[in-house]
Amino acid sequence: MNETDKLRVLLPHWIEHNGEHASEFKKWAEKAEPAVREAILAAASLMDEATVRLREAQNLIGK
């Protein structure tokens, strides 16, 4: 298996994993005080952006 084939396997895993983390962040953010909530939600937003970029990579590499 070459590096491109490995990425075709890894990218869907990373995308799913990021989504799970972002959901968990958002769930816990609702339980936190306002300043902490904002920091956690900012992290979740960055995770969502990373997922968008990973999907772009997945589209470029071909499924």
Which pLDDT score is estimated for 59? 97
Q: Give pTM, 2 decimals.
A: 0.87
Integer Cα distance of 25 and 15 in angstroms? 15
Task: Output Rg (C-alpha) for the chain, integer angstroms.
Answer: 14
Tell me the pLDDT of the chain (63 aa) as tens digits: 899 999 999 999 999 999 999 999 999 999 999 999 999 999 999 999 999 999 999 999 986
Which pLDDT score is estimated for 22? 95
Domain boundaries, the chain: 3-61
Which pLDDT score is estimated for 26? 97
- Give the burial string for 8-26 (b: 16+ CB within 10 Å, else e): eeebeebbeebeebbeebb
Which pLDDT score is estimated for 63? 67
